[in-house]
């Protein structure tokens, strides 16, 4: 993100996609998601003359000599991800039993070290960006949904300009357009990114692994009702299912229907009913009985 921001602008999301799409099928599908991105952005930095392959290789050798390629031992019963409440098959982003970093993950560290050495990026910027990203999550999207349920004027603004509505709640959305999709009794929205994993990270945090999986990206468009059924959501035939393909410029946030029996609830309490999955469109809002009176 820092390398593609307005300050540096070394490459665009579309350019990283171009590099990834040039990979042969065997390589593409053998690489974990984030390693494909590492391959893309490091290749672009070389292509644009920011770094050279020689200095990346030299830095990689230095890291190996220093033992930086070794993975510290940790209790694997604590391994987790952010979609562990689903049993859908997906490609893992890492091997929990690995003892050394993969070549591409080591390459990412080498690239980072060379960028810092050149003064292109500062370690403090990296730390700040990590902290900013860690602060994002579905609780922000839930705040937006809850306010839309209780404030018609806010809901109208959200429908017109998602970025302005989010920023009105102190939730910055930059670099992309946020569009709100309102579910109704007759219309249900489902979000997917057919090309990669474009996702409203500003309001939902990191995408779950199943959202990035090849199966979801292909089947959500082709057979959305079957996919929803696998998530436990079976919609009546009279309800239209509309699938939206996220892009590098546009992000979508589903506004689920407000559950009945929640009249008079505060925004804070209503937000507890809003799950990540409901804001992607693979679930409804939680049942009010699941939230204790507050």
Catalytic member of 30, 42, 102, 197: 197
Task: Render the burial of 219-228: b for 16+ CB within 10 Å, e for the rest.
Answer: ebeeebeebb
Catalytic member of 30, 42, 102, 196: 196
> Structure tokens of 192?
């997917």
Catalytic member of 193, 202, 213, 275: 193
Q: DSSP 3-state assignment of 77?
A: helix
Categorise residue 32: left if φ over 0, alpha if ψ from -120 to 50, beta otherwise. Answer: beta
Q: Which residues pair with residue 188 across a beta bridge?
A: 241
Catalytic member of 198, 213, 246, 278: 198
Active site residue 290: no
Triad 182, 187, 191: Cα angle to 5° = 65
Active site residue 197: yes
CB 19 within 8 A of CB 40: yes
Cα diameter, the chain: 65
Active site residue 42: no
Active site residue 198: yes
Task: Render the burial of 233-248: b for 16+ CB within 10 Å, e for the rest.
Answer: beeeeeeebebbebbb
Chain centroid to CA 94: 17
The residues annotated as belonging to the active site are 193, 196-198
């Amino acid at each position: 993100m820092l390398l593609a921001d307005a300050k540096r602008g070394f490459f665009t999301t579309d350019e990283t996609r171009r590099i990834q799409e040039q990979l042969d099928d065997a390589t593409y599908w053998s690489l974990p998601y984030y390693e494909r991105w590492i391959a893309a952005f490091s290749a672009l930095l070389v292509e644009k003359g920011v770094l050279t392959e020689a200095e990346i290789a030299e830095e990689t050798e230095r890291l190996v000599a220093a033992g930086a390629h070794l993975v510290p031992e940790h209790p694997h019963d604590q391994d987790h991800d952010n979609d562990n409440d689903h049993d859908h098959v997906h490609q893992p982003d890492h091997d929990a039993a690995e003892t050394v970093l993969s070549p591409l993950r080591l390459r990412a560290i080498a690239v980072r070290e060379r960028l810092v050495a050149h003064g292109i990026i500062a370690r403090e910027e990296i730390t700040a960006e990590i902290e900013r990203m860690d602060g994002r999550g579905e609780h922000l999207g839930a705040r937006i949904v809850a306010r839309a349920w209780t404030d018609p004027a806010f809901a109208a603004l959200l429908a017109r300009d998602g970025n302005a509505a989010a920023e009105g709640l102190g939730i910055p959305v930059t670099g992309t357009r946020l569009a709100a999709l309102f579910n109704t009794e007759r219309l249900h929205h489902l979000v997917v990114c057919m090309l990669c994993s474009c996702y409203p990270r500003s309001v939902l945090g990191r995408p779950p692994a199943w959202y990035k999986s090849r199966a979801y990206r292909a089947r959500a468009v082709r057979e959305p009702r079957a996919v929803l059924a696998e998530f436990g959501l079976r919609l009546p035939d009279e309800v239209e299912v509309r699938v939206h393909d996220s892009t590098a410029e546009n992000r979508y946030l589903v506004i689920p229907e407000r559950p009945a029996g929640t009249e008079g609830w505060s925004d804070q309490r209503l937000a507890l009913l809003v799950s990540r999955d409901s804001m992607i469109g693979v679930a409804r809002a939680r049942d009010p009985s699941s939230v204790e009176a507050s």
